[in-house]
Structure 1
Amino acid sequence: MLEVLRSAWKLADLRKKILFTLAMLVVFRIGVHIPVPGINLDVIAELISQGQLLGFFDVISGGAFKNFSIFAMSITPYINASIIMQLLTVVIPALERLSKEPDGRRKMTQYIRYGTVILGFVQAVGISFGLRRAVIEPGVGTTLLIAITLTAGTAFLMWLGELITDKGIGNGISLIIFAGIVSRVPAGAVAIYEYLKAGTASVFIVLLFLVLAVAAIAGIVAIQEGQRRIPVQYAKRVVGRKIYGGQSTHIPLKVNQAGVIPIIFALSMIMFPPTIAAWFPENAIAGTIARVWTPENIWYQVVYALLIMFFTYFYTAITFNPSDIADNLKKYGGFIPGLRPGRPTAEYIEKVSSRITLAGAIFLAGIAVVLPSIVSLTRLPVYYGSTGLLIVVGVALDTMKQMESNLLMRHYQGFLK
């Protein structure tokens, strides 16, 4: 990784892209500290401490939600709009045809932008209503001011992310989330140092935490990069005096094809009831839900793990189509040795995908449920969330791969010149 960064820094155009990306991330971090007017931040901090879902939003936004800044909603409306568009593409044939057209991708990106603004405004109104205890002067005008400010902040982040993708290095939206999560690391390190200084935590506990962190990162890298390679053979074709095809290749099926999406879906669903209940502290039923449905409850953990496994299979089934792969192989003269092209090939790919998805689902459920429980035993003041860790590792790997591909392309260009 360090060698890749060193090589990229020596090239003027790549150095310019890296500096541009860092400059845009600095703009994002400055915006995190610009507050929305008319909000009592002490009440926001109290609500975040009561609900894990709000704490998760604060992690994703890099502390912007706790500050209730203009970027408090972060880029979540854009992510939601992208996921909804992806699901609708599978359900609606017209959108599926549009996605395969030459100009279709640009139109779908435009639809996602419109969806981001609409979802952002709806979410901002919901936040303004749900956090009405924190509003200093409640009213329709104040609610609209807060909703419009939060929506404008999300739209600006969307534009910033697309600008990074276009003129910088890596995926801009992912890097904004990455920067938000990583920004909490220095504060966590200072807190651990203070615990050591005060004697609240021992050196052994801190070393145990570091070993656990390194092991978790290594495991995530292994699963993220792990793949099952299905061999493919292309038949030889004679066209005139030339022979085409005849080469062997493979179809790489990733162990974790769904990424971090299942954990986000499962966390949103399982934390929705207690988060809503926290908004109505006087209600007896809401008080019971908030008191009982907590991470300390064994049934909470069981349901959480089952939801993650369900959404892993669901999202993989939505985004991965074995029939399309089998049809493309047949179209270009490819086949899996020992299988007939067409339906038998699709069934075999689906069977293999189902088996490796089980391994990915068990891994995601394990790292989401077991890892935070083990870390909590150390009693260190660090939010070591599995979701944030998966996002950070995944974005870092993708960014490094893009940087390596840029370096490889420069080498090829130099060779041709």
Structure 2
Amino acid sequence: MKKLFTTLSNIWKIQELRERIVFTLVILLVYRFVSHVVLPGVDATALGDNQKSGILGLLDMFAGGSFSRVSILALGVMPYISASIVVQLLGIAVPSFQKMQKEGESGRNKLNQITRYLTVVITAVQAVGYVKTQVPKEAILIDPTLFFVLSTFVLSAGTLFVMWLGEKITDKGIGNGVSLIIMVGIIARLPMALYQEITSRVIVDGGLIALVLEIVALFAVVMFTILIVQGVRKVPVQYAKRIVGNRQFGGVRQYIPLKVNAAGVMPIIFAQALMFIPTTLTQFFPTLQNTWLIQFSDPTSLAYSLTFAFLIIAFTFFYTAITVNPVQMSDDMKKNGGFIPGLKPGLDTSSFIDDVISKITFPGSVFLAIIAILPSLAVKFGIKSEFAHFYGGTSLLILVGVVLDTLQQVESYLLMRHYDGLMKTGRVTGRTGVPAANASGSSAVI
């Protein structure tokens, strides 16, 4: 406990860090306040129980509940995330985007500008769909045509406002702004979910021991998730000696940290999108409800869990293959005078890196699939569905990843001022430890 208070005191002594933390907290409070402002022309009391499930529930989670509240920030940062993913994929397939990725700071600025423009387009399209399908007609108080035009404009402005808040946090605050906004939206659900679980276990069932076991199990799952997020395979790289004037450069051994889970949460998001297709089909074609497709309407069924796990493993390999480029890593090492001991630069090096990535991606994908289906297993054991979401899936992976990244930045400020780090031994490592040679200039937002 003394170590904790000492660390907090050291953090508060650093003026720049203190100002960044306060600025971040203020911006997040502004976001949470505005997220409760309902669209103009909507009767909030007429919304009733507007909770979402399926893919809409996932969007509602990312938006911090604004989606179901018909808030002016209902679309949240999802259009920006979608635009970022599209630009990232274009950087793999389109030569002009690849060229911009290699132009350094100027190239990144161009890509960021393209991402912003694309965000506006995606937001406008999603705003139209949201107003048409998600706003109950009985809750609209003004002329429907006027409401449609006004709401489309307000929703687009709301997403741009959230994107601006995220960029301000990144520039003047601490941590990645967009990721922190998503994390705050997820955490906002935790108090109510925990209250419901305590009420169910202690007051209704009288199962205090069961509640304690649930908390212990959640702690173990969080520790397991941290291991997956931080797990790396270090590949040694030797740099040749260079003499420039009277000084010697190079001649040292470094490491390329190849992550066990280089794909992050994207495989789970892609797999979830596909798993909602059977449910959508049964809604449009009622005759299919008596077929085998009905099994995929229940996330706790064995067929759903096995299919979901298989898709996650497949998408992990796919997403890792398109985001981690062994050939580019090999070329970058060769340009900088680096080589892997015992291997020739070029084809041998890229083949070795590709082989290592393939070997570590399989266990990483299996562990990711286990984390993804843990909420379904938690429901099977009698845990309320709201609280079960924190036992795995996108919620837990985002929370763990964002917290680690933020703590890593805080620790870097402490070490720069010659204070002790956040831990007695070792250092906090977040998700930023991507392969050093993969200087593509693009990265996933989440």
Q: TM-score, normalised by structure 2?
A: 0.85
1:393 matched to which residue of 2?
A: 400
Query: 1:244 aligned to 2:244?
Result: no
Q: Deviations over 1:15-45 (max 9, x none)?
A: 1111110000000110121112345668866
In the TM superposition, residue 245 of structure 1 has moved relative to its aligned partner by 2.1
Q: Equivalent of 1:25, from 23, 28, 32?
A: 28
Q: Equivalent of 2:113, from 110, 115, 126?
A: 110
Q: Equivalent of 1:227, from 232, 235, 251?
A: 232
In the TM superposition, residue 126 of structure 1 has moved relative to its aligned partner by 1.4
Query: 1:176 aligned to 2:178?
Result: no
> Structure 2: how far apart are the matches of 1:251 and 1:45?
53
Structure 1 residues 381 and 348, CA gap change in structure 2 (3 angstroms)? closer
Query: 1:86 aligned to 2:88?
Result: yes
Query: 1:142 aligned to 2:147?
Result: yes
The AA in structure 2 aligned to 1:151 is S
> Structure 2: how far apart are the matches of 1:382 and 1:251?
39
1:303 matched to which residue of 2?
A: 307
Q: Give the 5 Å matches for 1:55-74.
A: 55-74=57-76
In the TM superposition, residue 407 of structure 1 has moved relative to its aligned partner by 2.3
In the TM superposition, residue 275 of structure 1 has moved relative to its aligned partner by 4.9
Query: 1:266 aligned to 2:267?
Result: no
Q: Give the 5 Å matches for 1:1-400.
A: 2=4, 4-39=7-42, 48=51, 51-102=53-104, 103-131=106-134, 133-134=136-137, 136-137=139-140, 139-200=144-205, 202-275=207-280, 278=283, 284-285=286-287, 291-294=294-297, 295-380=299-384, 382-385=386-389, 386-400=393-407
> Structure 1: how far apart are the matches of 2:246 and 2:23?
51
Q: Which runs of 5+ in 2 are unaligned?
A: 420-446
In the TM superposition, residue 204 of structure 1 has moved relative to its aligned partner by 2.1
> Structure 1: how far apart are the matches of 2:45 and 2:26?
31
Structure 1 residues 43 and 251, CA gap change in structure 2 (3 angstroms)? farther
Q: Equivalent of 1:410, from 414, 417, 421?
A: 417
Structure 1 residues 377 and 232, CA gap change in structure 2 (3 angstroms)? same
CA contact (8 A) 2:197 2:387 kept: no
Q: Secondary structure at the match of 2:381?
A: helix
> Structure 2: how far apart are the matches of 1:85 and 1:211?
41
The AA in structure 2 aligned to 1:338 is G
In the TM superposition, residue 5 of structure 1 has moved relative to its aligned partner by 4.2
In the TM superposition, residue 184 of structure 1 has moved relative to its aligned partner by 1.3
> Structure 2: how far apart are the matches of 1:262 and 1:45?
34
> Structure 2: how far apart are the matches of 1:276 and 1:122?
23
Tell me whether 297-306 or 391-400 shows the greater mean CA deviation: 297-306
Tell me whether 388-397 or 305-314 shows the greater mean CA deviation: 305-314
> Structure 1: how far apart are the matches of 2:47 and 2:347?
55
Tell me whether 212-221 or 296-305 shows the greater mean CA deviation: 296-305
CA contact (8 A) 1:39 1:134 kept: no
CA contact (8 A) 1:53 1:268 kept: yes
The AA in structure 1 aligned to 2:30 is V
Q: Secondary structure at the match of 1:251?
A: strand
Tell me whether 369-378 or 255-264 shows the greater mean CA deviation: 369-378
Q: Secondary structure at the match of 2:37?
A: coil
In the TM superposition, residue 246 of structure 1 has moved relative to its aligned partner by 1.6
Q: TM-score, normalised by structure 1?
A: 0.90
The AA in structure 2 aligned to 1:158 is M
The AA in structure 2 aligned to 1:154 is T
Tell me whether 138-147 or 84-93 shows the greater mean CA deviation: 138-147
Tell me whether 196-205 or 1-10 shows the greater mean CA deviation: 1-10
1:415 matched to which residue of 2?
A: none
> Structure 2: how far apart are the matches of 1:287 and 1:71?
35
Q: Which runs of 5+ in 1 are unaligned?
A: 413-417
> Structure 2: how far apart are the matches of 1:287 and 1:7?
61
Tell me whether 132-141 or 265-274 shows the greater mean CA deviation: 132-141
CA contact (8 A) 2:50 2:69 kept: no
2:440 matched to which residue of 1?
A: none
In the TM superposition, residue 371 of structure 1 has moved relative to its aligned partner by 4.0
> Structure 1: how far apart are the matches of 2:341 and 2:318?
29
> Structure 1: how far apart are the matches of 2:60 and 2:339?
49
Structure 1 residues 95 and 404, CA gap change in structure 2 (3 angstroms)? same
- State how many pairs are aligned: 408
Structure 1 residues 168 and 218, CA gap change in structure 2 (3 angstroms)? same
Identical-residue share of aligned pairs (%):
42
In the TM superposition, residue 162 of structure 1 has moved relative to its aligned partner by 0.3
CA contact (8 A) 1:4 1:400 kept: no
The AA in structure 1 aligned to 2:411 is E
In the TM superposition, residue 175 of structure 1 has moved relative to its aligned partner by 0.4
In the TM superposition, residue 112 of structure 1 has moved relative to its aligned partner by 0.7
CA contact (8 A) 1:36 1:68 kept: yes
> Structure 2: how far apart are the matches of 1:242 and 1:30?
57
2:426 matched to which residue of 1?
A: none
CA contact (8 A) 1:209 1:378 kept: no
CA contact (8 A) 1:4 1:404 kept: no
> Structure 1: how far apart are the matches of 2:355 and 2:57?
38
Tell me whether 213-222 or 237-246 shows the greater mean CA deviation: 237-246
